[in-house]
Structure 1
């Protein structure tokens, strides 16, 4: 009898142990083998966005695919091995994608019983690639089942972050309940997942959703071809019968923006925001519209409302930074941009915002540091390396810029731009003859900014006092960009020093119609008139320039000398006294050239 009792107790104990739920460590060890890092890559194989995917077979995985169009490279990483992936089927309504992972060595996740009801209050765990830091786990409870747009979402409280899209929501036994969709957040720790039972229907929905696929393919083609009016018309026809299609409204907003139709753009972003109140894409679009309408207070309020929903979202912090920057609160903007970079160090728009703030402060050192950071993150992107070289030049460190360009490996497609920046560096190094060769080599290719290359060539020839070649180069720059006053100014300057003053004055007159308060144009006009012997006209132009910008020592000396040649002795003394109060060194030069010789001649 005693043995029977002991045996009964042992069986009861083992049964109880078997029913005991797993702890978080055990759940992580069991499920993380099937939850993978999933990335969308750019042309240089650099991550554009980090997401999560769940293995459903050795060579199949599922993820959330709102922003994946299948055009870019996709990569899935599991067990320290990386595999290329492609989208093989899409459930558009539920935003689910089935991925093909050829040669994958994935571990299929164990799913919960599809017929099992999900109970509110049940313990759940979220496994995902949160913030792109690798697969992690968080704990929470089921808050309820919430129907939205024809899909029953699981609402849960386990914390998630950007990068969690496509992650696994598992129960206390480590079995898959749902696929996390981070975009459907309604507040802090109020998150959603799509029920796992819908995974079996992805391929079926992909085959049956022919009309939507045709709509999407046509929209993508029109967008890639930049046929914005046709895209607007195509989307408008579709929306008539599909008012809740978030993709269609997103395309409608993009087309309206490209067509400069602000009312339609605002309507599209507003509709999308209503459908997806926590979407950073829709919120950012509305904020941009408010800024275009100069409604800064409303833009700022909307940006902060988005932030209250998603504190860890780099895009939203960037939006807040852009709004604060537009509102003129640079310190708050800088704080927001740096917060964005703490969540996503590849957030290019945040870097651009910080660079803009540093430029406003004329903080050349900070501008260079920011481009250095971007250069380290994107060593294979020539455009960023060129911007770093430019920052070195502007910081008066041309040797550093030259060294950077010299060791840079540049694809043939960017060779002409590399030659252009080499020329800019050589100008800064006072090597105009070598710069001419670099610019001419650049123009033999196809530089991104051809007018800039011609203008830089004109500047190099000007430094060599080869005025005919300088004039020819500047004329070509003006032909390519006729409304650029900088090129017109350079052309007028070359004409003046090339003894073609009348042509220079004609360009000065055109510039003054556009820039009537530009002291540099008035100054150049005055010098040209003096060369042509038009002393009285020259005096008026110089006086106008100094009225607009008094701190021009060299021009004061020229004006005083012109007064002397015109016999206006009182004006000589008056101008000299004014210059003494502005710049004593230039006043001394004026005294030596225009006053002292006449004092000695007339003791």
Structure 2
């Protein structure tokens, strides 16, 4: 159990947060990723184009792509910086990952990160290299292209996290790379059309295996290793289910998601992700007792499921069972101590219980991880108001309107703090800001606090 100690309010006022390392710009990330992202064309025995997409160079002679691209033909070529290299399908791995052998392609190893510690809303960059289209006589494209996005959904699967990104990508990006703000490879792009939408799914980099040594002999030189083909088919069925559940969640079709999840847990009662998806559906249908049961089953089958512990806390909080909510959040933080959203929800629960020092501590922890969370700044301001610490609440509301300048509630509360501090010059500035956002509230503020 994570213990949160009471902290004197003065300590909060003087607390310093460690500086964040500057993230690379999109231009820097594209420049660094470009030598490692290639276009991929797979052909039949007569040279007819069968499959197109992108690939990621893992090192000399090694390119990883999706099997959506590579399985359409055993031979083909990859193109980097205008130069074509012959490629052979070497190894079909589970979960839509295929390895190409490209003997003459020289490259240092790519910088690999991990998908295990990704979080929702984290900034990411999709890089693909769409190649020539069938019928074109000359190469057009093939130059890597970057699309910015963020992590919109995550699901634990096969020892890592399966990803849905908001990046806008086409099928030609399939097999390309997803990079974090440090320029490290965190996944292989696997766009799919599901539930009528084109969605940017991503296979986590942690799944990529070292291909087995090539089989000696005349057959082994040309045939891809299929030692995991059966496993690949089985696990791709799992991805199909995951893809559909994430698509339904994105569409907010909660009844369809609940039906799909219940079908899956009936088929496999040990599927923690399916229980989690059922909990998500129940929560959004405001059936919180059922959500608690579903999240508990997810945790029963996967004890270190941080998101399930977090959502269990949310369900308990909606039932006003604050003791169990706090315990669930603390268990989530034991697994994911840098999860800003868990700290934020923990702060909300402490504020509901009027345990204001604990709430302030939790909000400050959340903001130390994600200083651009306007909701955390706003609720921190409300908590300081409850304690009549108006200098501190004004500071929190200032941060809120910096991030979210259209937030009329934050402007109004900032004005109330200035009124309590008798900052009349600043009060007039608040009035002018409110006139643009909420004229009725602006007049209320003017008549109540500015007029003598």
Q: TM-score with structure 1 length normalisation?
A: 0.41
Of the three residues 354, 366, 382, the one matched with 2:197 is 366
What does residue 319 of structure 2 align with? Answer: 464
In structure 2, how many angstroms separate the alpha carbons of the residues matched to 1:411 and 1:335?
32
Q: In 1, distance between residues paired with 2:168 and 2:344?
A: 38
Are the aligned partners of 2:339 and 2:366 in contact in 1 as well (CA < 8 Å)? no
1:560 to 408, 415, 428: 415
Residue 488 of structure 1, CA deviation: 1.6
Q: Indicate the residue corresponding to 1:13 in structure 2.
A: none
Shift of 1:544: 2.4
Report what 1:176 is aligned to: none
Higher relative contact order (CA 8 A, sep 6+): 2
Residue 336 in structure 1 maps to residue 172 in structure 2:
yes
Instruction: Provide the secondary structure at the position in 2 that maps to 1:551.
Output: coil
Instruction: Rate the CA distance shift 1:557–1:414 in 2: closer, same or farther, 3 A.
Output: farther
- 2:346 corresponding residue in structure 1: 491
- Tell me if 1:534 matches 2:359: no
Shift of 1:463: 2.2
Q: Which residues of 2 match residues 154-193 of structure 1 at below 5 A?
A: 165=74, 182=75
Contact 1:560 1:590 in 2 (8 A): no
Q: Which residue of 1 aligns with 2:272?
A: 416
Rounded to whole Å, the distance in 2 between the matches of 1:192 and 1:353 is: 22
State the alpha-carbon separation in 1 of the partners of residues 269 and 317 from structure 2. Answer: 29
Residue number in structure 1 paired with 2:146 = 325
- Change over 3 Å in CA distance of 1:326–1:354 after alignment to 2: farther
| Pair 1:289-2:89 in alignment | no
For the 8 Å contact 1:128–1:163, the answer to whether it is kept is: no
- Give the structure with the larger strand fraction: 2
Distance in structure 2 (CA, Å) of the matches to 1:385 and 1:575: 51
Aligned length: 309
Match of 2:220 in 1: none
Deviations 1:334-381 (A, max 9, x none): 2623799xxxxxxxx8863578xx9xxxxx97356989xxxxx99973
Cα deviations by residue, 1:476-532 (Å, 9 ceiling, x for unpaired): 111111122222222122222221111222233334444445433322321221112
Question: In the alignment, is the contact (CA less than 8 A) between 1:461 and 1:470 conserved in 2?
Answer: yes
Question: Which residue matches 1:426?
Answer: 282
Counterpart Cα distance in 2 of 1:185 and 1:518: 42
Partner of 2:15: none
Q: Please say which structure displays the higher CA radius of gyration.
A: 1
Among 441, 457, 466, which residue is 2:297 paired with? 441
CA RMSD of aligned residues (A): 5.3
Higher helix content, 1 or 2:
1
2:316–2:324 CA contact under 8 A, matched in 1 = yes
- Structure 1 residues 534-574: Cα deviation after superposition (integer angstroms, max 9, x where no partner): 12211122122212321222222322333344444554443
Cα deviation, 1:365-400, whole Å, max 9, x if unaligned, reads 7356989xxxxx999734442443333233332223
1:510 matched residue in structure 2: 365
CA contact (8 A) 1:320 1:336 kept: no
Shift of 1:408: 3.6
Q: 1:288/1:550 Cα in 2 relative to 1: closer, same or farther (>3 Å)?
A: farther
